[in-house]
Amino acid sequence: MYELIPLRERSFVFRGPTNVGIYIRGDRATVIDSGATRKDAAALLGTLDAHGWKLETVLNTHYHADHIGGNAYLQEHTGCRCFSPAPFFAQVPLMNAAFLFYAEPPAPLRGETFLAAGSRTEQLTSDLLPDGFSMKSYPGHCYEQYAIRTPDDVLFVGDVLLGYEELQQKTMFYFYSYPQHMDSLDRIEQEHAHVFVPSHGSPVQEVAALTAANRAHFLQMREWILEFCAGDGMSQDELMKAIFDRLHRHLHLALYSLNVCSLHAYLSALIDEHQIIARAKGNMMRFHTI
């Protein structure tokens, strides 16, 4: 389930449900993201200990539960400092889960996958990065997200890019803003690095092909929504049914909640572009093309 893979002399990726970057200077480790769960964090710490590496700093690419999930565990066991964009969400992770349900989330959205333990995480800023590190903003997947570059030129891109394995999943991938995410894809494609590491999937050296595969997914989903909204249009739940029927996938509450967020990101962009209008008919809110 877990594997430590060297990427350069000092940079490693700890493969697991969420990839964790590791950079070693002397016997000190900086990690990028902290795993999805306490179990992931315990496995990470076991690997660091086995090599005699002492954890100093956690840098989160963004504040989603599967990236900050190990912050609290690592802090409890090592006293390391944790830094994240929008750290409030790492301090009060219930707000991440509330984002998925617009209210206090029910039990299926309070498992560890959606609800991390709270941690004393501080604001990530470039002047607080360890020597030689740099970061660049790529919002869209969420409100604030950074790609973090190690001194030996490994670029950990968070969820700006999904790996090829991840893209095989039949789903709408979670995101927050269509225009911001598409802009981030355009910009990450212009980057040069020895290797690019998405948080889910294998590292790649050719970023253009992976970016194209990611862009194709979001463009296709946008086309489907426009197709389904033609004529009389559809309600939110009719759209969800049409999309998941076409994906040959059965919905459940957690999948529904995650993907309603993504659907709203598309609808928000299409309403702003004057391609879709939202209108209530018989007290049913319907989205249809103009």
- Contacts with Zn ion by CB under 5 A lie at 64, 159
Nearer to Zn ion, 85 or 233 (CB): 85
CB of residue 108 vs Zn ion: minimum separation in angstroms?
19
- 38: its two tokens: 């306490």
The residue at minimum Cβ distance from Zn ion is: 64
Nearer to Zn ion, 64 or 149 (CB): 64
Nearer to Zn ion, 133 or 143 (CB): 143
Task: Tell me if 199 sits within 8 A of 67, measured CB to CB.
Answer: yes
CB of residue 282 vs Zn ion: minimum separation in angstroms?
37
Nearer to Zn ion, 87 or 233 (CB): 87
Could you tell me where the beta strands, DSSP code E, fall in the chain?
Answer: 3-6, 11-15, 20-25, 28-32, 54-59, 81-84, 121-123, 134-137, 146-149, 154-158, 195-198, 276-281, 284-289
Phi, psi of 149 (to 5 degrees): -105, 130
CB of residue 18 vs Zn ion: minimum separation in angstroms?
9
CB of residue 61 vs Zn ion: minimum separation in angstroms?
8
**What is the C-alpha to C-alpha distance for residues 131 and 26, in angstroms, rounded to an integer?**
13
3-state helix, strand and coil shares in percent for the chain, rounded to the nearest 5? 40, 20, 40
Cβ neighbours for 89, distance < 8 A, ≥ 6 positions apart: 63, 68, 95, 96
Nearer to Zn ion, 64 or 286 (CB): 64
CB of residue 245 vs Zn ion: minimum separation in angstroms?
26
